[in-house]
Structure 1
Amino acid sequence: MAATIGVGQFGLLLVGMRAGMPAGLTSLVLQMQALFTVLFAVTLLGERLTARRVLGLAIAFGGLALVAYDFGVSGPLGAFALCVAAAAAWGLGNVVQRRAAPPDSLRFMVWVSALSAPPLLLLSLWLEGVPVLVAPLEGWMSLLYVAFVSTLGGFGLWGWLLSRYDASIVAPYTLLVPVFGMSSAALMTGEPLTWLKLLAAVLIVCGVLYAGTTARRRRPSPLQEALPRRG
């Protein structure tokens, strides 16, 4: 788990952004983890891939394709490949966590974070050299948010969901990340929301909801129940 999500996902993701991948496009590409999670869950855990999930994922990824078209692919090919690899590492980590099924997801993530710190520190020293521990208040606030809110809190809750539901059901909900990212950027930084982005958001939400729910079985009518069964 530490090797997949802690080092693989975050390490490859941050190196890809350092190589020139734009932040908005990065958050979009990283959502390919839902596809990798489903593929790994089917091949490694033997989970059943229904036609409903395939269609829901196809609709959601159609929305992601619209967002990618609207943003425009401006990052270098190598940086893009690193982000795709980060998505694959996240997908594999989801399946590993589903397989492990830790009883305490928050405590589990604390240990994952602790074991991930030394390899990430070595990677940082190799690529960036000795760090300078002087940063503005916004930098320290960002560090605290990433450490305690998004990592421990977010992945702790994520692990709790994976321990109770199929990974192929939980993973598609991360496709909602670009929707929240676009709306937050519009509210906080004034970025415009185009009709293409809104259409993409609708496709993503509808695809996720369709893939994550099950078809309701039709109950027989009282007349059908009263009729004697043949055979």
Structure 2
Amino acid sequence: MKRTDLLLSITVMVIWGFNFSMIKLGVSDVNPLVSTAARFAIAAIPVVFFIPKPDVPWRYVVSYGLLFGVGVWGMASWSITAGLSSGMSSVLLQANVLIGMAVGVFILKESLPTRKLIGAIIASVALVISIAFTNGNVTGFGLFLVAISAVSWAAFGLVVKASKTKNAFVFNVWGMLVAPIPLLLLAVFIHGDQVLAESIQQWTWNTSFAVAFQAYPTTLFGYWVWNNMLIRYPMSTVAPLTLLVPVFALISGFVIFDETLSVPQVIACSLFLIGISLIVRAPKKAAPIVLLSVATKH
């Protein structure tokens, strides 16, 4: 991966890490599915009226919107109200990295060098540590929801690849336009139509700020960069970058909500960083072999 692309991707990982605290802020008073629907509605509108539909079949746009909007962020937001801390939700979501690498290897037939395999093993160990030493901030239902989110993350990356889209920003915006209605319908199906009126009544300035942060720097900017990286590089290289997200999410959760960082969590973060360095670091190029022709006089 080019250095400029790597730095841009890391910047997005910082934003995405901080975003988990914004999700927690946004769902403190309002139903998580409703607040997620608002996030994607204001991210897509009015931008969608100024850009043409991406030159891909509708099935890719709709699949992306459902997986990305409902599957990833609807479930991740819900997992926080289901008992996960914002930091732990981000950590457990990183199972998508292992799924993404597996998809890259077994479905997309991408190669997996030994160095990346070792990095994946280290990352897996870090994930186990994070689950085993949670200070009680993991619930069974929350774990189920974030597992759906992780699988959906890997799946939407596959949709981006399969669509062969050339304009990541346009594809992202039109895909987001699909998400709000299914999210609201799911909220009404689970909680009844009163959930909409209750959400409006309970809406606060904190909710507005949190939703705006999720819509603009996180979604419009972040996923424009992310989808571009998916288009340019193998999934097995791009997916592991998200291992940086829980590092920044745990830090922001500690700073904003006073969520504690246990010693095992610090160890897990360190292991994440080691795994990333092994997976995304470009292999050293072998020194060129120069053949010299020696002319001999007879």
TM-score relative to the length of structure 1: 0.86
CA distance in 2, matches of 1:184, 1:19: 20
Q: Could you tell which deviates more after superposition, 186-195 or 60-69?
A: 186-195
The structure 1 residue matched to 2:173, chosen from 110, 116, 126, is: 110
Does 1:17 find its partner at 2:85? no
Residues 86 and 249, structure 2, Cα contact 8 Å, conserved in 1: no
Q: CA 1:128–1:54 in structure 2 vs 1: closer, same or farther (change >3 Å)?
A: same
CA distance in 1, matches of 2:102, 2:215: 29
Deviation string, structure 1 residues 65-115 (Cα, Å, up to 9, x no partner): 333333245433233122112101111111211222322212211111101
Q: CA 1:220–1:42 in structure 2 vs 1: closer, same or farther (change >3 Å)?
A: closer
CA distance in 2, matches of 1:219, 1:212: 21
Residues 9 and 89, structure 1, Cα contact 8 Å, conserved in 2: yes
Q: Which residue of 2 aligns with 1:120?
A: 183
Paired AA for residue 10 in structure 1? W
Residues 8 and 90, structure 1, Cα contact 8 Å, conserved in 2: yes
Residues 60 and 203, structure 1, Cα contact 8 Å, conserved in 2: yes
Aligned residues: 226
CA distance in 1, matches of 2:80, 2:252: 20
Q: Which residue of 2 aligns with 1:167?
A: 235
Residues 101 and 162, structure 1, Cα contact 8 Å, conserved in 2: no
TM-score relative to the length of structure 2: 0.68
Identity %: 26
Q: CA 1:156–1:128 in structure 2 vs 1: closer, same or farther (change >3 Å)?
A: farther
Residues 8 and 86, structure 1, Cα contact 8 Å, conserved in 2: yes
Matches within 5 A, 1:57-206: 57-72=120-135, 74-129=137-192, 130=194, 131-132=196-197, 133-134=200-201, 135-206=203-274
Q: Which residue of 1 aligns with 2:284?
A: 216
The structure 2 residue matched to 1:37, chosen from 100, 121, 136, is: 100
Structure 2 unpaired stretches of 5+: 1-63
Q: Which residue of 1 aligns with 2:40?
A: none
Query: How far apart are 1:220 and its partner, in Å?
Result: 6.1
Deviation string, structure 1 residues 29-79 (Cα, Å, up to 9, x no partner): 111111111112223222122222111111123223333333245433233
Q: CA 1:221–1:162 in structure 2 vs 1: closer, same or farther (change >3 Å)?
A: closer
Query: How far apart are 1:6 and its partner, in Å?
Result: 1.9
CA distance in 2, matches of 1:197, 1:74: 12
Residues 91 and 127, structure 2, Cα contact 8 Å, conserved in 1: yes
Residues 86 and 253, structure 2, Cα contact 8 Å, conserved in 1: no
Q: Secondary structure at the match of 1:71?
A: coil
CA distance in 2, matches of 1:157, 1:208: 18
